[in-house]
Amino acid sequence: MDTTAPASRRATRPQAAPKVGFVSLGCPKALVDSERIITRLRAEGYELSADYQGADVVVVNTCGFLDSAKQESLDAIGEALAENGRVIVTGCMGVDEAHIRAEHPDVLAVTGPHQYEQVVSEIHNVVPPAHDPFQDLIPPQGIRLTPRHYAYLKISEGCNNACSFCIIPSMRGRLASRPAADVMREAERLVEAGVRELLVISQDTSAYGVDLKYAVSAWNGREIAARFYDLTEALGHLGVWVRLHYVYPYPHVDDVIPLMAEGRVLPYLDVPFQHASPNVLKAMRRPAHQEKTLERVRKWKEICPDLAIRSSFIVGFPGETEEDFNLLLDWLQEARFTRVGCFKYEDVAGAASNALPNHVPEDVKQERFARLMETQAKVSADLLSSRVDQTIEVLVDEVDEEGAIARSAWDAPEIDGCVFLNGQTNLELGDMLTVRVEHADEYDLWATPVEASS
């Protein structure tokens, strides 16, 4: 070290940037939280470390939705402690600090979901920022963990519902929507940065703006209301794919279906129905469970025949009888959803459903799970086979030495199917092109390019 250097020279010499390791678990909403924390850290001059050894401190963003997710979070904290030793925990599981400390007493700090300020302040305590005012370290669109061509757009936090199996409202609080102009500005920045698909997320997307009483805010010289339809319509003008997740079938959702039919937003709705039996839905305390959903779905498809509906279901919910389950299977065959996810019910510490009578034995849950997946596989194979010989537009997600993996408008990243473009090694991530479908199975399509549109 040069101990003879004048004080003024020592003061301006750039320090090595402190490095933070980041482990992000859980749902897309948790991923958005991670992005916000990282954006803030990068703005302060921190760098991200790709491995535990190179990090001055490791942040683990946990998931606490199911007990299995909590265990995964505890395992991730244990691994980070073993490999690095300086660990800060945040995210949904952070509300249960006692549980974390019982297993990992050496974690440096524990903060809860979307406590960005606290996480950053804990990081400051462990490793202060190396401030360099002459460097602009942050691109205007922030730092994202998703690939460059798609991004999650979080429009609200929290939830006003009280589903009996869910502890999210107690962890994340009541619905708190972002002003519409804020959402639109973020969406515009993402599009300017090269994003070609925006995935709109929240806990309850169709309830957007209720808490703000649909307040208007100024965007691009006009006023825009914080209302589900108005926001969807405005996003539909940005010239990129817009995909709506976590939409409950409230009557006003009908209004956005014509936007899908006109090609303004993707003909895709992620509606977490969870069940079809009125008894189970009542026990689950699901929002909109009294709506005539099959009738509504039929009406949506009349307006937009190409509409893909993805949904998730819980089998083996306490009190679910064989009759309830058979009703669900019949309902699924009639509804013919494009994509279906299924979970076996699990007790979650703090959830009201734990106390319900008539818990379903594990072997029955497993058997119902298998039957539901088998039923849906037939529906899905049938729907996908109707795509063979069609010409469709796809977005490329991955390219390797065997070809490209793309997605259609009916498939969300990570959770739905793919369109395989074998041998197409010259494509790039984010390319959009027109392809002809040649083959289909229960989940995926295989296709060849017709013409490149980008």
Where do contacts with ligand SF4 occur on this chain (CB under 6 A)? 159, 161-163, 166, 168-169, 203-204, 287
Q: Decide if 417 contacts 339 (C-beta within 8 A).
A: yes
Minimum distance from residue 203 beta carbon to ligand SF4 (Å): 4
Minimum distance from residue 164 beta carbon to ligand SF4 (Å): 9
Of residues 74 and 271, the one with the C-beta less far from ligand SF4:
271
Of residues 164 and 217, the one with the C-beta less far from ligand SF4:
164
Of residues 173 and 179, the one with the C-beta less far from ligand SF4:
173
DSSP character at residue 9: H
Of residues 176 and 432, the one with the C-beta less far from ligand SF4:
176
Minimum distance from residue 141 beta carbon to ligand SF4 (Å): 27
Minimum distance from residue 417 beta carbon to ligand SF4 (Å): 24
From CA 175, how far away is CA 156, in angstroms rounded? 7
> What are the strands, taking DSSP E only, across 63-196?
87-91, 109-110, 150-154, 156-157, 176-177
Give, for 363, the enclosing helix (H) or strand (E). helix 362-385
From CA 7, how far away is CA 228, in angstroms rounded? 58
Of residues 84 and 277, the one with the C-beta less far from ligand SF4:
277
Question: 40: closest CA among 127, 111, 116?
Answer: 116
Minimum distance from residue 122 beta carbon to ligand SF4 (Å): 27
From CA 437, how far away is CA 415, in angstroms rounded? 21
| The amino acid at 110 | V
Which residues have C-beta within 8 Å of that of residue 29, sequence separation ≥ 6?
152, 154, 201, 202, 203
Q: Decide if 58 contacts 25 (C-beta within 8 A).
A: no
Q: Decide if 107 contacts 77 (C-beta within 8 A).
A: yes
Of residues 271 and 418, the one with the C-beta less far from ligand SF4:
271
Of residues 163 and 238, the one with the C-beta less far from ligand SF4:
163
Of residues 287 and 316, the one with the C-beta less far from ligand SF4:
287
Q: Decide if 100 contacts 89 (C-beta within 8 A).
A: yes
Which residues have C-beta within 8 Å of that of residue 430, sequence separation ≥ 6?
147, 148, 149, 194, 196, 395, 396
